[in-house]
């Protein structure tokens, strides 16, 4: 009788341990999401400040380098992975954002994304699945358009032209 009673207990223990493992892994994954999304947000805020400074002074000293560096960081954050699986891939196994440099942006930023639409899910308790995740397009679609605007108006060297000033204003407004 005792042996029969322990089989359900063993199953409960195994299920509990499995759910605990899933919860730990989910915690790690969500922390990685938080780090990457916070990085994109901070990058946008810093870029906006640089654009406002250039508008205010009319000078572009190091602005082009700032934009290119920000884009490189942006691309790396959108292509962040966990164990070789893209965080923002939406179910795809390849990097979700193609351009690595500002010069590689296409005419329409939407075509630069190759992410899917699937959001991951995890069973966190009996009969309780948690859907989580966000795609690269959802995280960075708007900022990719800002970079496209800046790429079209650049390069930024010397004094701002009226067209460049307008582009900086449009990009800064889009970052609000």
Residues β-bridged to residue 128: 125
CB 35 within 8 A of CB 156: no
Higher pLDDT, 10 or 149: 149
What pLDDT sits at residue 13? Answer: 67
14-23, 31-40, 85-94, 112-121 — which is least confidently predicted?
A: 14-23
Residues 123-176 have pLDDT tens digits of 777 787 878 889 999 999 999 999 999 999 989 988 899 999 999 999 999 998
Distances (CA, A) of 5 to 14, 17, 99, 126: 15, 19, 59, 21
- The string of pLDDT tens digits covering residues 64-119 is 999 999 999 999 999 999 989 999 999 889 999 999 999 899 887 778 999 988 88
Classify residue 154 as left (phi > 0), alpha (psi -120 to 50) or beta: beta
Residue 175 in 3-state DSSP? coil
Contacts of residue 92, Cβ cutoff 8 Å, sequence gap at least 6: 86, 114, 115, 116
Backbone angles phi, psi at 81, to 5 degrees: -135, 165
Question: Which residues are registered as beta bridge partners of 129?
Answer: 123
The CA-CA-CA angle for residues 21, 26, 32, to 5°, reads 135
Domains observed in the chain: 2-174 (1.20.1330.10)
């Amino acid at each position: 009788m005792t042996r029969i009673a322990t089989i359900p207990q063993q199953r409960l223990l195994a299920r509990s341990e499995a759910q605990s493992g899933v919860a730990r892994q989910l915690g790690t994954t969500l922390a990685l999401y938080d780090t990457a999304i916070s990085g994109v947000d901070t990058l946008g805020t810093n870029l906006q400040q640089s654009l406002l400074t250039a508008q205010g002074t009319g000078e572009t000293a190091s602005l082009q380098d700032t934009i290119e560096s920000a884009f490189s960081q942006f691309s790396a954050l959108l292509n962040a992975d966990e164990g070789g699986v893209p965080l923002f891939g939406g179910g795809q196994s390849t990097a979700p954002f193609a351009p690595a440099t500002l010069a590689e942006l296409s005419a329409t930023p939407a075509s630069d994304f190759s992410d899917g639409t699937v959001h991951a899910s995890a069973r966190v308790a009996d009969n309780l699945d948690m859907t989580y995740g966000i795609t690269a397009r959802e995280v960075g679609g708007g900022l990719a358009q800002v970079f496209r605007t800046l790429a079209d108006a650049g390069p930024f060297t010397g004094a701002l032209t009226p067209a460049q000033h307008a582009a900086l204003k449009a990009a800064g407004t889009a970052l609000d």
